[in-house]
Chain A
Amino acid sequence: MSLYFTKDHEWISVEGTSATVGITDYAQSQLGDVVFVEVPAAGTAVEKGKEAAVVESVKAASDVYAPVSGEVIEGNAALEADPALVNTAPEGEGWFFKLTLSNPSELDGLMDADAYKTFVDGL
């Protein structure tokens, strides 16, 4: 299993050709209390860098981009009832969706954990 990060503060955990996507702890801390999450339905085709989900705090609505292209296998239904999971466990139970990668080479441009930490420290 390998973990990658984007400059737009998504993380993607890859196992073979499937992966799980969420937003980072830094992102949730910037958003504040998350009150609503809209995740894509299974079967949705997502494209790298394009809007795939929406996360809302009280005063902000933000698009979550797909780190890579692929087809959504599952959206995290638990977020509908308990959007606070994004705040309490952004890189665990607060994941957004799982997908099948259509082009694994797209992972090449993403950051690893150390690179992302350096990136965030520089913000």
Chain B
Amino acid sequence: MRYLPLTDADRREMLGVIGAETIDDLFADVPEAARLSGPIEGLPNHASEIAVERQLRALAGRNLVAGEGPFFLGAGAYRHHVPASVDHLIQRGEFLTSYTPYQPEIAQGTLQALFEFQTQVARLYGCDVANASMYDGSTAAWEAIVMARRITRRGKALLSAGLHPHYVSVATTMAKFTGDVLETSIPDLTDGAPGNDLDRLIAAIDGDTSCVVVQNPNILGHVADLSELAARAHEKGALLIAVVTEPVALGAIRSPGEMGADIVVGEGQSLGVGLQFGGPYVGLFATRDKYVRQMPGRLCGETVDASGQRGFVLTLSTREQHIRREKATSNICTNSGLCALAFSIHLSLLGEKGLRDLAALNHAKAVAAAERLVRVPGVELVNGTFFNEFTLRLSKEARPIVRALAEDGILGGVSLGRLYPGVAALANGLVVAVTETVEADDVDELAEALEEALA
């Protein structure tokens, strides 16, 4: 077997040193009844690289690849161009096959990259400090709600209707077990401000409210100013948690930190990571300095070594599970290190100028696409404001139309029927994302296909 270096002669010699006859003897502590005498049944035996590659390529070939046709899906996962150097660098074995940097003298590469990542995320989000990443945006959002409970010692969270329904679902699942009270609602297709419920949220904040959780841009693409909400939450002793599923948007719009958010979390997948059918992604998590000890997840900090040279270490570990055990701020252990590295490399390539240009390009293409699509009979734009994603109201139910378009190789958007099954008022909604990878021809193709489908 190509991954196993020992020869039978090695094995015999080593068994001699150990004082055992066979490898099976080493499993003497396993009760006889539970010990299998041969390979597990029903599974194939080993295979060559050629054979494995053939089998997996066949499966891959059964999927419609995003890059092979007009593609407009978003809703929490965005298709951006990732520069070639990103994937090359994260595949360097010293990054790919290293471990959590518990021995800092020989892990400065990972640690310095994490320190840079934390600084980039904090600046992008407009916060004082960020951690070394979470699993993804949805779990980061739940962890933020738990953190707000710890800080405020209150147990009720208000979730905006514009928060990604999967994020709401994750929080709802967890809250069933932790006893947190969540107030949630379904978005509506209000003209000009779909999914926007800031006024309702402001009215609902009371003395039991630990936090208000708002996504910006929201699941329907609406962009809002959160400043008033932040101020009103703070007046009542509650925190504002802002969720950002599309980090590229922050190259164009004001950061949640600038608008007064206390904790900002989100998905970092747009930069460096790719679509990957939903994972692995990278959760971003940032907050104010004063809350740093209540943060979940790993943190990297600067220090010096014995000769006075600058170096980096994991720090404030007493918050974490391996020390604090049942009193830890979270049970999270593994984070999303390699995806965080990809995010950081992509953002280093972009820099301030590149990110702003990329954001401007996304916005311009989205605006142009929206203008083209509303010329299709039976298509209305619901949004007043948006960044690179907007909601259309079709004259027919959107979900069958999305499926029909897919048969022609056009991935035309995410239907609200998929995100909110059974909600009749949303059934005709279609969320369309337009990134720098979309060309005008793609938009024309979508428009023509929609025209045909709605006719």
Q: Which A residues are closer than 8 A to B by beta carbons? A: 36, 56-61
Contacts and interface: CB of A to CB of B under 8 A. Distances in A.
A72 to B, nearest CB: 17
Main secondary structure of the interface of A (DSSP, over half): strand
B293 A60 contact: no
B334 interface: no
Contacts of A59: 317-318, 323
Contacts of B327: 61
Nearest to B315: A58
Contacts of A56: 318
A60 B316 CA distance: 10
Nearest 5 CB-CB pairings of A with B: A61-B318, A56-B318, A61-B324, A61-B323, A60-B323
B317 A58 contact: yes
Contacts of B318: 36, 56-61
A36 B317 contact: no
Interface of B: 293, 315, 317-318, 323-324, 327
A114 B310 CA distance: 46
Contacts of A57: 318
Nearest to A57: B318
Chain A CB within 10 Å — which of B293, B318, B324, B327 has the most?
B318
Contacts of B293: 36
A60 B319 CA distance: 10
B443 to A, nearest CB: 55
Contacts, number: 16
A61 B323 CA distance: 7
A56 B317 CA distance: 10
Contacts of B317: 58-59
A66 to B, nearest CB: 18
A41 to B, nearest CB: 13
A56 B320 CA distance: 12
A61 B324 CA distance: 7
Nearest to A61: B318
8 contacts: A36-B293, A58-B318, A59-B323, A60-B318, A60-B323, A61-B318, A61-B323, A61-B324
Contacts of A61: 318, 323-324, 327
Nearest to B328: A61
A4 to B, nearest CB: 27
A57 B327 CA distance: 16
A3 to B, nearest CB: 29
A60 B318 CA distance: 6
Contacts of A36: 293, 318
B290 to A, nearest CB: 12
A108 B152 CA distance: 38
Nearest to A63: B327
Nearest to A60: B323
A36 B317 CA distance: 11
A9 to B, nearest CB: 18
Nearest to A59: B323
Contacts of A60: 318, 323
Chain B CB within 10 Å — which of A36, A57, A58, A60 has the most?
A58
A60 B324 CA distance: 8
A60 B317 CA distance: 9
A50 B337 CA distance: 39
Contacts of B323: 59-61
A59 B315 CA distance: 9
Nearest to A58: B317
B309 to A, nearest CB: 19
Given A57-B318, A59-B317, 9 more contacts: A56-B318, A58-B317, A58-B318, A59-B318, A59-B323, A60-B318, A60-B323, A61-B324, A61-B327
Contacts of B315: 58
A107 B318 CA distance: 32
A57 B318 CA distance: 8
A61 B320 CA distance: 10
A59 B320 CA distance: 10
Contacts of B324: 61
Nearest to A62: B318
A59 B325 CA distance: 12
Contacts of A58: 315, 317-318
A57 B317 CA distance: 10
A10 B8 CA distance: 60
A61 B315 CA distance: 13
Nearest to A56: B318
B154 to A, nearest CB: 18
B295 to A, nearest CB: 14
A77 to B, nearest CB: 16
B335 to A, nearest CB: 19
A59 B293 CA distance: 15
A55 B427 CA distance: 55
A101 B235 CA distance: 37
Nearest to B324: A61
A55 to B, nearest CB: 10
